[in-house]
Structure 1
Amino acid sequence: MIEKMKFLSITGPKEDIDRVVDTYLSKYEIHLENALSELKTVQDLRPFVENNPFKDISQRALELSQLLSPDGEQSGHKSMTVSQASDLIEAIGNEAEELKAKEESLISKRNTLKESLERILPFTALNYDLSAILHFKYIKFRFGRISHEYYHKFEDYVYDTIDTVLYKCREDDEYVWLVYFVPDTISNRIDAIYASMHFELITVPDEYKGTPFEATKTLEDSMKAVQIELNDVRKQLATFLELKRDDLLSAKDRLESFSTNFNVRKLAACTRQSRNTFYILCGWMSHHDADSFQRDISDDEKTFCIVEENHENILSRPPTKLLNPGLFKPFELFIKMYGLPAYNEIDPTILIGLTYSFLFGFMFGDVGQGLCLLVGGFLLHRFKKSSLAAIISCCGIFSTIFGFLFGSVFGFEEIIHAVWLRPMQHMTSLPFIGRLNTVFIVSVSIGMGIILLTMILNIINSYRSHDPERTFFDTNGLAGFVFYAGLVLTIVLYMTQNPIPASVLLVIMFALPLAIMFFKEPLTNLLERKARIMPKEKGMFVVQGFFELFEVLLSYFSNTLSFVRVGAFAISHAAMMEVVLMLSGYEAGNINWLVVILGNIFVCGMEGLIVGIQVLRLEYYELFSRFYRGTGRAFKPYGKKL
């Protein structure tokens, strides 16, 4: 169902807008519209332009609250004014910033130490005092790395021909880390040779003491000390914020509320009357909220509200707010995926809830697996609040019901008696067709009933939207309904070997609706009293009408046969479980329960997914395409009801 809406225009002194929003509108769900767009006919309207003074302090409060532990309570309970909230956030923020500054300084120091450690770590095998190397006077040194390919080439062809001493420190799969020494007088030439071998120089600053191994130990000890100090600062910050948790969260909520309230000005308009300037707010409320709001402001001398009952006088379309019983609420997921219904359109949530669950159960009838879906979906919805899990649970109910009708429990068909029939075994004889599986006949019959129902819904929707063509002359309108209903009636009478209606009645049921659908465009023009009834190109009109009519007849046939898949999956489910039992050795009397369990899990998972997709396809293409537009816009409330 779609909740009924009222359009409200709220006005009062300009300086009073914050009080009104905070006192009244924050208590109710109101979908605000742009007042300048809605009130184009009102003279001297101008936008309500002011900078939000709460934006920065509200953002600061949010950032501070994000430093709190996520395990604690996430909302405050203290009542405070906006100025008190601002002062509180300033005080908490200043003290927290001092600790954050210490934290950032320690992090920077730790990163510097880590960088120094990573730089010297590859050279720990060099057992020589680094400070002595770094202060050589006549010998130059170079720390760096070279790839294996060029290192071997250097050793084989170059090393013995130049004046240099090379010390290999470490190697991995890709590089060799080394130190080479060279006399100062020829260092430029030797450096050029090493560079030609793709030697990558690593700068070692004058800050290390002892051997590289001793230097790494010193750096590691320094990093541990800095980390201990850093943990202590973080603990101080966490303890301080936890002590202020209730104050901080209360202030954050208050500032967020005022910041959001202030943003209402973007949708408000201002008008000047005599010496005073008034604000105007426009928006949609549910009937219940609108009545409560009017009662609330009845004694408020500064606030005025006008309710517009006639939606034809309003420029914007009413938003859609779905209101369905709890059992069908999860199926709103499928509605939102397709598109919300327009305000004057039928909400198909209950229809899709019933048909989806029913068709799923028909295609997946098994008591054991149905109960697993029921319980598993219920528990998942209970703990994870998943709408899809709730849908699975509803489908499990119908799977269990059809499991009793088909006499199947985890694929075993000897445990209980079939209340109705066995899908793979029951056959029915039909005139002209012969023997046919009963579930195919039933599934097609269900499909014809659903198609007729969707045609009725299309007539209602089209009538509400004042569309005479779709109401009376469309393939899913009144003409299409008469034709298809007549066809269904004739087939049922023929298959049950009952007398078929007289020829005159058949002409009325078939020929007349087809003629109306053929001439739907001229008939619509005539009904709407347009100047031109028939199109200019009459020859093209006839050809186009003929092929469209042919396509209509073909679509009736294909759409009806599309429901055969319902019976096909009912049979395939029984067949798959029969294969599982055969593989487990059930027929030989030596049953392997592990195979039975794994087979049930596989069938329940794989076929359940496929059946779910196929039923959704039937809903969207065979049901929704006939009557549902899904052109509504969501109801987006400014404030949430307390």
Structure 2
Amino acid sequence: MIERMKFLNITGPKDDIDRIIETYISKYDFQLENALSELKDVKELHPFTDTNPYKNALNSSQELKEYLKDTDFKTNRQMSIEEAEALTNTLSDKVNAFSQKKSDLEAELSKYEEKLKNVQYFIGLDYDTEKILHFKYVNFRFGSMPKEYYEKFMTFVYDSVDTIFYKAREIDDRVWGVYFVPDTISDQIDAIYSSMHFERFFLPEGYEGTPAAASTHLEEKIQSIKMEITSVDNKIIKTLEDRKDDFLLANQVLYKFNKVFDVRKYAAATRGNRADKKVFYIICGWLTEKDATKLSKELENEPETFCLSEKDLSKVLSTPPIKLKNNALFKPFEMFVEMYGLPNYKEFDPTILVGITYSILFGFMFGDVGQGLVLLILGSILYYTKKIRLAGIIARCGFFSTIFGFLFGSIFGFEDVIQPLWLRPAKAMTALPVIGNLNTVFVVTITLGMLIIILMMIISILTKLRFKKPGEALFDTNGVAGLVFYASALATMVLFMTGNPLPASIVLIIMFVIPLILIFLKEPLAEIVERRKVHLEGGAGMFVLQGFFELFEVLLSYFSNSLSFVRVGAFAVSHAAMMEVVLMLSGAESGNINWIGVVLGNIFVMGMEGLIVGIQVLRLEYYELFSRFYTGGGRAFKPYA
């Protein structure tokens, strides 16, 4: 069912808004609406422009909270907002001091890591790097060139120029090293190296010893800095751990007051008495009837706060939000309703209907005692431990699969263990006039499907009357006219198949012809009933032509919709056939049963066919049931807190 909603307007002195929200409103599921939008006709309304005073403290608290691993915290202890802010600021100052030191260490670490990266290119150079960096009369160039150019240079050029190249390392097809050249000819030699694609690398000062020694020294320095950073992190964590409970309580208080203050973005402010210029707030929104009654009663104790309930919801601009309320047995099936779309506030909640029809149809198509019990047990465990709604649906479907398993006499595919209480799906046949022998489950499922369609038509009529659409309720294909025609077709078919005499011709005309004429004249008749001007778009000729084809489509849809339920019987038969194949492959016929094959076969059938059956039943729900009476379009109830 759909929870009944009430729209409340709450007003009082502006300075009292936080206390009222924190003391009363925050205890209830209250879906706030924008007061400025809802109260357009009220003069001198304006939004709140106050800056949230708790936002910065909350942001600091959230940043500090990231240092803690276990943040689950429950307590009945109270803390004022002033205490929460003071504690957060104190801890934040301490942590910021450590953080600044950590930032300085990280900057120093980055510098040394860059130095280490630079010097490692020249590990093979067996000479004091610092001395090279202070040469006066010989120029040096650190850098690298592609390996192929290095080989060409050493083969064809090196012996004819005044330079010394010292190869240090070879990394990724590049040769790293340093070349030396007299200062007087450095420009000429630089040009030659440049033609060999030599790329200079400027090694900064500050190295001691050979590159290998400098690398070792830098690695030690880097490790020392990392240890200092770890020490600072530990101090930060210890600072917070020492006041952990107080800090987490302060975080909760800040979060709560921040949310309370943010209610202002939905509220409006107005001026009261012109003499004292007193400012009032207005908060409005939706609550369930039960919560609205409780909140209104509590606010009666506040002399300056007024709570008004809007009795005529048509005067409220926003549509009532939808909160489904079903008992535990049907609650998981709310998932299917939400997937299709929540019902309109005035509409019928189809959750119970879906729960009953989906479970029965699934059980019919998947009837097996053993497999049904497996679905029931596994689904129940997952639903009650993990709160997975789909698992809850599977558990309920498993229950009905077990029932139909007893009716069909099947347990894990074995049909010689228990006797069927009803029939064997693959073997039961029924003799019908004209048609001949037909599988009994097909006859039953088509009849069941037609009865379900008739039920949907009745619900459609009631829904259209609730929406004050009497024309559609009377003359629509899913209205009274359609119901009379379709129910008559079912009754006539049953009489014919059972060998009973059919009604007289006049009765048949009343049952079939008159409803079709009413469906054909649906639009003008609906306009007459609803006291609107009759208008035939395109003229009488176009109306007749269009009505003829629409009537043909209606008849075709009645036929195809009824046949859609054949799939229920088809899957019941195919399930029995698949399990027969599994047992045959497992050697059940020969008496030498391969139990591993039986188990694996059952798992395969449960997984594959269970998925297909679940999808097929959902298709029947959406296309054959929902499409007849359900519009959806409701919006979910989303309380602010």
Q: 1:199 to 1:490 in 2, by over 3 A?
A: farther
What's 2:313 paired with? 311
Contact 2:472 2:526 (8 Å CA) reproduced = no
What's 1:183 paired with? 181
TM-fit CA distance, 1:4: 0.8
DSSP 3-state at the match of 2:142 = strand
TM-fit CA distance, 1:2: 0.6
After TM superposition, the structure 1 = structure 2 runs for residues 350-429 of structure 1, keeping only pairs within 5 Å, are 350-429=352-431
What's 1:615 paired with? 617
Cα distance in 1 for partners of 2:229, 2:134 equals 35
Stretch moving more, 225-234 or 39-48: 39-48
TM-fit CA distance, 1:132: 4.1
Cα distance in 1 for partners of 2:159, 2:484 equals 102
TM-fit CA distance, 1:48: 3.2
TM-fit CA distance, 1:188: 5.1
What's 1:341 paired with? 343
Stretch moving more, 85-94 or 391-400: 391-400
Per-residue deviation, residues 508-545 of structure 1 (Å, max 9, x unmatched)? 22111111111111011111222335445111111111
Q: 1:552 to 1:108 in 2, by over 3 A?
A: farther
Contact 1:144 1:202 (8 Å CA) reproduced = yes
Stretch moving more, 384-393 or 347-356: 384-393
Contact 2:123 2:168 (8 Å CA) reproduced = no
Q: 1:41 to 1:128 in 2, by over 3 A?
A: same
2:487 is aligned with 1:485:
yes
What's 1:542 paired with? 544
TM-fit CA distance, 1:316: 2.2
Q: 1:106 to 1:523 in 2, by over 3 A?
A: same
What's 2:45 paired with? 45
Cα distance in 2 for partners of 1:326, 1:195 equals 81
DSSP 3-state at the match of 1:620 = helix
What's 1:299 paired with? 301
DSSP 3-state at the match of 2:286 = strand
Letter in structure 2 aligned against 1:384 = K
Q: 1:237 to 1:589 in 2, by over 3 A?
A: same
Cα distance in 2 for partners of 1:113, 1:302 equals 67
Letter in structure 2 aligned against 1:396 = G
What's 1:331 paired with? 333
What's 1:259 paired with? 258
What's 1:14 paired with? 14
Stretch moving more, 493-502 or 301-310: 493-502
TM-fit CA distance, 1:595: 2.8
Cα distance in 1 for partners of 2:328, 2:375 equals 19
Cα distance in 2 for partners of 1:187, 1:415 equals 100
TM-fit CA distance, 1:26: 0.7
Letter in structure 2 aligned against 1:57 = A
Q: 1:370 to 1:309 in 2, by over 3 A?
A: same
TM-fit CA distance, 1:606: 2.2
TM-fit CA distance, 1:375: 2.3
What's 1:167 paired with? 167
Contact 2:469 2:530 (8 Å CA) reproduced = no
DSSP 3-state at the match of 2:260 = helix
TM-fit CA distance, 1:112: 3.5
After TM superposition, the structure 1 = structure 2 runs for residues 514-529 of structure 1, keeping only pairs within 5 Å, are 514-529=516-531
Contact 2:429 2:437 (8 Å CA) reproduced = yes
Letter in structure 2 aligned against 1:19 = R
Letter in structure 1 aligned against 2:480 = L
DSSP 3-state at the match of 2:144 = strand
DSSP 3-state at the match of 1:271 = strand
Cα distance in 1 for partners of 2:145, 2:607 equals 55
Stretch moving more, 161-170 or 280-289: 161-170
RMSD of aligned alpha carbons: 2.6
Per-residue deviation, residues 290-319 of structure 1 (Å, max 9, x unmatched)? 111122122221111112222223232211
Q: 1:158 to 1:398 in 2, by over 3 A?
A: farther
DSSP 3-state at the match of 2:414 = coil
TM-fit CA distance, 1:181: 2.0
Contact 1:127 1:211 (8 Å CA) reproduced = yes
DSSP 3-state at the match of 2:415 = coil
1:606 to 583, 605, 608: 608
Contact 1:77 1:250 (8 Å CA) reproduced = no
DSSP 3-state at the match of 2:367 = coil
Cα distance in 2 for partners of 1:194, 1:106 equals 40
Q: 1:475 to 1:272 in 2, by over 3 A?
A: same
What's 1:510 paired with? 512
TM-fit CA distance, 1:320: 0.9
Contact 2:488 2:511 (8 Å CA) reproduced = yes
Cα distance in 1 for partners of 2:556, 2:614 equals 27
Q: 1:144 to 1:488 in 2, by over 3 A?
A: farther
What's 1:108 paired with? 107
DSSP 3-state at the match of 1:499 = coil
Cα distance in 1 for partners of 2:51, 2:439 equals 73
Per-residue deviation, residues 21-54 of structure 1 (Å, max 9, x unmatched)? 1111011112222222222333333333322222
What's 2:235 paired with? 236
2:271 is aligned with 1:269:
no
Q: 1:140 to 1:343 in 2, by over 3 A?
A: same
What's 1:86 paired with? 85
Letter in structure 2 aligned against 1:510 = F
Stretch moving more, 99-108 or 183-192: 183-192
After TM superposition, the structure 1 = structure 2 runs for residues 43-82 of structure 1, keeping only pairs within 5 Å, are 43-69=43-69, 71-75=70-74, 77-82=76-81
Contact 1:76 1:253 (8 Å CA) reproduced = no
DSSP 3-state at the match of 1:344 = coil
Cα distance in 2 for partners of 1:565, 1:198 equals 75
| TM-score, length basis structure 1 | 0.92
Q: 1:582 to 1:143 in 2, by over 3 A?
A: farther
Letter in structure 1 aligned against 2:250 = A
DSSP 3-state at the match of 1:327 = coil
Contact 1:77 1:246 (8 Å CA) reproduced = no
Q: How high is the sequence identity, in percent, across the aligned residues? A: 53
DSSP 3-state at the match of 2:12 = strand
TM-fit CA distance, 1:466: 1.3
TM-fit CA distance, 1:368: 2.6
Q: 1:319 to 1:460 in 2, by over 3 A?
A: same
Q: 1:200 to 1:539 in 2, by over 3 A?
A: farther
What's 1:279 paired with? 281
Q: 1:87 to 1:587 in 2, by over 3 A?
A: same
Cα distance in 1 for partners of 2:502, 2:141 equals 108
| TM-score, length basis structure 2 | 0.92
2:213 is aligned with 1:214:
yes
Contact 1:341 1:628 (8 Å CA) reproduced = yes
Cα distance in 1 for partners of 2:493, 2:6 equals 48
Stretch moving more, 76-85 or 10-19: 76-85
After TM superposition, the structure 1 = structure 2 runs for residues 448-597 of structure 1, keeping only pairs within 5 Å, are 448-535=450-537, 537-597=539-599
Cα distance in 2 for partners of 1:198, 1:592 equals 74
Q: Runs of 5+ in structure 1 lacking a partner? A: none
Q: 1:87 to 1:577 in 2, by over 3 A?
A: same
Letter in structure 1 aligned against 2:456 = T
What's 1:142 paired with? 142
TM-fit CA distance, 1:604: 2.1
Stretch moving more, 377-386 or 343-352: 377-386
Letter in structure 2 aligned against 1:96 = V
Cα distance in 1 for partners of 2:628, 2:159 equals 88
DSSP 3-state at the match of 1:421 = coil
DSSP 3-state at the match of 1:112 = helix
Stretch moving more, 426-435 or 20-29: 426-435
Cα distance in 2 for partners of 1:509, 1:224 equals 93
Contact 1:142 1:179 (8 Å CA) reproduced = yes
